[in-house]
Amino acid sequence: MMRNAARAMVFAAGVLAVAALTSPATAQKAGPTTKQVMKAMNGPKGFVGATVAAAKGGDWDKAAQLGAKAAQCAAALGKNAPKKGDAASWEIQTKKYAEVGAEIEAAAKAKDLTALQAAAKTFGGACKGCHSVHK
Ligand code: HEC
């Protein structure tokens, strides 16, 4: 029950963050390129790996901060146009990407290592599906 409430709050915060990114004040400022998102998210030092590492080390404050960055960064990908593949597929793929980012943030904030690892696994399993069409 508490966990659901916490998740709902985290989700609401994520929606606000996305709304902030799309607000007129920030609309002129270009977001990260797709390459920048890939670099920031992936690898052992990327937001996702670093979030899991912090959580495993018991530093949940750090995990929550990194998870929030992962969610924000993931949400930014959908603002870019794909250099390959059609727009409808890109929308589906980037929506999923943003959802997994939000799950990572929610799990880190809920201090739920099992959910965090599950979300990180989903994230890691989605590379090929998107790259085969859009990279
Ligand atoms: C929603 C689609 C999508 C997903 C999911 C995705 N990628 Fe990418 N990735 C891309 C696209 C598009 C490019 C090509 C960017 C370009 O060349 O401008 C790319 C490029 C890359 C690059 C090359 C970056 C560079 O500097 O040239 C790496 C590395 C990479 N992705 C790693 C990953 C890994 C690892 C995962 C999974 C954990 C992943 N990507 C998931 C869309 C995606």
From first to last of its 135 residues, the chain has per-residue pLDDT tens of: 556 666 665 555 555 555 555 544 444 468 999 999 999 999 889 999 999 999 999 999 999 999 999 999 999 999 999 999 999 999 999 999 999 999 999 999 999 999 999 999 999 999 999 999 999
Name the domain count of the chain. Answer: 1
Note down the domain range covering 86.
2-25+33-134
Whose CA is closest to 134, among 89, 95, 74, 100?
A: 89
For residues 115 and 97, what is the distance between their CA atoms, to the nearest angstrom?
16
User: What is the number of H-type helices and E-type strands within the chain?
Assistant: 8, 0
Q: Is 35 in the pocket of ligand 1 (CB under 6 A)?
A: yes
In this structure, the number of other CB atoms found within 10 A of the CB of residue 66 comes to: 24
Q: Is 83 in the pocket of ligand 1 (CB under 6 A)?
A: yes
Whose CA is closest to 123, among 13, 46, 64, 62?
A: 46
pLDDT in the model for residue 85: 97
| CATH at 82 | 1.20.120
